[in-house]
Amino acid sequence: MTRRYAVIGDPVSHSLSPLMHSGWIEDHGLDATYEALLLRSDDPVAAIRGLRGFSGVNVTVPHKEAAARAADRSADSVANTLRWEPDGAISAFNTDGAGFIDSLDEAAPEWRKKVGAALIIGAGGAAYGIAKALANHVELVITNRTRSRAEALAGPLPKARAEAWEKLPASFAASDLIVNATTLGIAGAESPAWPVAWCRRGTIVVDIVYRPLETPLLRAARANGLTAVDGLGMLIHQGARAFEIWFGVRPDAAKARARLMAALA
């Protein structure tokens, strides 16, 4: 019986997940399909619970918190991967944080020796996973246009604090690693005048947006001689971990990057 998988979100048409996962499914000769599914609902928890015929889904903006609430079993309050069990129960997982660390290890292998302080811009579902993963390694500053959300994210984490959006230049200056975990800079969206000129030499700048692959933030980072890391790595590595949760095998990240780079070109 063919198993169905999907990425759910709103919007979702831009997602490269179907191309990525379909490629891996073909690589491993699996009897499965993967699609993009627009999920627009005033009650996303009920909508997710009402999904029929799926064995698993990836979850993107804005449904990661709803996905965790919709699950029967979840180790976290935010989820980006769901799996339907044989008894019909839903298990929720968050591969964002581990996927981010995998991508950072790949793009900047020496980062653990160089990074003592990190800045996370944003306080949504992706920021949550990244912050939890980084909190084990570095001092964290979290900033968001709505400061209360940054405070809520920083509160439970060790060595983390919230900072006012208005102090962004000073936060850039004090950080060895800067992560944009918002949609600022995504194709068609606004992008602020990032204060990259304040950064010290050797700063690593990551943008989890991958359309465009070179965002205004990354362009500014490269122009200032900084290490710039695009969002494709996190997409691939969090997806690889989700694939392993579903199928019990870790797929080839390099093959996925080649396919996605061709598609973006």
Cα 239 to Cα 148: distance, rounded to the nearest angstrom: 30
- Which of 64, 114, 132, 255 does the annotation list as catalytic? 64
Residue tagged 């997602």 (tokens): 15
Contacts of 130 (CB under 8 A, 6+ apart): 96, 97, 100, 120, 179, 181, 208
Tokens of 22: 């379909």
- Number of neighbours of residue 37 by Cβ within 10 angstroms: 18
Cα–Cα nearest to 44, from 86, 87, 12:
12
**Is residue 167 flagged as an active site residue?**
no
Determine the residue type at 153: L
CB burial string 59-90: b at 16+ within 10 A, e below: bbeebbbbbbbbbeebebebbbbbbbeeeeeb
Q: Which residues are catalytic, by number?
A: 64
